[in-house]
Structure 1
Amino acid sequence: MEPSAAACAAEIDRKGYTVIEHYISPEQLELGRAFINQQAASHDHEYFAIHGIEALGGSLIAGLALSQPFKETLTELYRLQTGREPAATEQIFPVIRCLQGRSGLKQSHFYHFDATAVTALLPLYIPTEGEHCGDLIIFPSVRRIRFNALRNVIEKAVLHNTASQKLVAFAVRRGWLKPIRLKLEPGNLYLFSGYRSLHANDECDPALLRATALFHFGNPHHDSLVARHLLGTNKRKAKLDHNGLKPVN
């Protein structure tokens, strides 16, 4: 039996994250991996990311993003974490990230806050050998939920620049900062507040494959023109609207 949203929210507040073990079945995991294998081959076994339901159409990941029970769970987590209702048009925004090859090394220690209050991470492939397996690194509850969009933009500008990210990465590697490090297990679902928590992934051996599905939900600034124009880089790169969908021409 899955834990209640209230229990998940309480554990996120207490520990910085919560885990629902064996969230998908072994058969579902194999379906997700089959999609990853196909995409990895088409990207010459180098880093790639796929954003949005339409780009992931027909995959296990798109199916989960469209699942009403899954959305209800994330909606309740959003309510519990913010005390507010999500925007009426809010949808789950899925992303596939695949670290492999030399280009995958450039995607490590990229410390950031998510645009959404709730982040769900579903590992599909996680290396188990070697020193660098792409662990999830979290500094939990670094900030509060900001309903002031301009303040959110300023905070992200301070921490999302190259100098700040390199400084945090250096301090983590030297042991001056001690974040939570999670060894991810394929098939488990990891829930945390990506908006409040500064997070990144550790390095991944370029000869190995790390593939995860991310599900973002609950943007406190969903209807803010300021946030829409100054943030949302990934959606703009993927040519998606602020709801994560292809614009209708």
Structure 2
Amino acid sequence: IMRQSKSNKEIADLSKQNQQLSDNYSKLSSDYAKLSERVKQLENSGGNTPAWTSGSKFIDLSSNNGSQAQSWYDSLHQSGVKGLMIKLTEGSEAGSAYLNPLFDEQKSRGIAAGMKFVGAYHYLLAVSVADAQAEARWFLGKLKAKGIPTTAVVSCDVEDSSLAKDKATLTAEVDAFNKVLSDAGYVNTCDYSSASWFSSRFDSHAKYKWVASWGASSKPAIADAWQYTDKYNGASLDCSYSYNQIFV
């Protein structure tokens, strides 16, 4: 009787193992079928993910936009805004030493809404090459302190009325600012200014050009990004179109 019980137990154990093997085989078969279907889809699409298309919208923010609820960002994303640039600094450590107090909030709430954090910008006030370098170091220090990756777009906002009127002088100052950043690994440099300044006030040698031309009927020829309005959705809010994947 004991021998028969032992035999029955072995049969039961083997049956259980067989069932487990059968279940595992069924799961593998299902996984294989899904994998095969995915391979077929990729083959039919040439093996590529959907191509990037230009014209996506991103906003740029500063403390002037104020502290906004998460729902504000959610609504903007739902309206078609896919990314955001945020002002980080202005001036230099020895000068105005300005740091946007809302930067962290604006960044985290934009990301929470589903927007891509494109990068940060600095508002230039330099009066010399040495001053531009000092401003770049102030910006660079805060980029690092905020953990902004070197892959982010880092933009120099060239628009203040106090900047040099001589084209060669301002060009040298902007170039010096960008070189500090690129030497530190932030190679996605970008100059922001109005279309008229790009043609008359300085020569841009940054990797990307972000051109403000509100109300124009078409994209400025040199623009990697076009800030086309300062009244997005009827609010006091800048919005741009992206013409380079680095933005959005």
TM (norm. structure 2) is 0.23
Flag the structure with more relative contact order, 1 or 2, with Cα contacts below 8 A and sequence separation at least 6.
1
> Normalized per residue, which structure has more helix?
2
Greater Cα radius of gyration, structure 1 or 2: 2
